[in-house]
Structure 1
Amino acid sequence: MPPRTTYRPQLPATWFWDWQLRARCRSTDLDVFFPRNDEARGDRLRREQVAKQICLDCPVQRDCRDYAIASGEA
């Protein structure tokens, strides 16, 4: 079986940063989006709910998702 490859679209270099200027999370502590190693289940659920609310109406949601995929974000 051939090795699995990761999809990485060819995008202009400026795309990786320009969209971030319009992101709703721009002034948010990024810890909201990433779990801690010792995070309890209840804390994780609350943190994820806050993150989802921030992202819900974000004008660059698609760009953010595409960037996360292209850059190998966990």
Structure 2
Amino acid sequence: MTDVSRLPGAAHHSWQWQSRAACRDLGSGRFFHPAGERGEDREERDAAAKRVCAACPVRAACLEHALRTRETFGVWGGLTEEERRALLAPAESALASRP
């Protein structure tokens, strides 16, 4: 489950970027894998989602949101959940090793 404590709250300006997203009217099925999807099917769906993200005017804001809130599922800002975890791992490891 997403950790909502990191969400910026209800301030409209914090969410305004979503209204300009290329995915706005495409439905979530393109960006979130169904249960049990593996292999080539998942790779093809992820690739299709990433093509949408590649042309998106708010890709950076979307990715920043996903990283800040630790979105655990789906393609956000052109990265899969595995790719986002790999980006966050070094920072989380450094925090965990602090005294």
TM-score range normalised by the length of the shorter chain: 0.7 to 0.9
Q: In structure 2, what is the Cα distance between the partners aligned to 1:25 and 1:16?
A: 18
Residue 4 (structure 1) aligns with: none
Unaligned runs of 5+ in 1: 1-7
Q: How many residues of Structure 1 are paired with residues of Structure 2 in the alignment?
A: 67
TM-score, scaled relative to structure 2: 0.58
In the alignment, structure 1 residue 68 sits paired with structure 2 residue 66: yes
Q: What is the Cα deviation at residue 40 of structure 1?
A: 2.9
Provide closer, same or farther for how the CA distance between residues 53 and 23 of structure 1 changes in structure 2, counting only shifts above 3 A.
Answer: same
TM-score, scaled relative to structure 1: 0.75
Q: In structure 2, what is the Cα distance between the partners aligned to 1:14 and 1:60?
A: 16
Letter of the aligned partner of 2:56 in structure 1? C
Moved over 6 A (4+): none
Quick one: higher RCO (CA 8 Å, sep 6+), 1 or 2?
1
Q: What is the Cα deviation at residue 32 of structure 1?
A: 1.3
Provide closer, same or farther for how the CA distance between residues 47 and 28 of structure 1 changes in structure 2, counting only shifts above 3 A.
Answer: same
Identity over the aligned pairs, expressed in percent?
A: 38
| Conservation of the 8 A alpha-carbon contact between 1:23 and 1:59 | yes
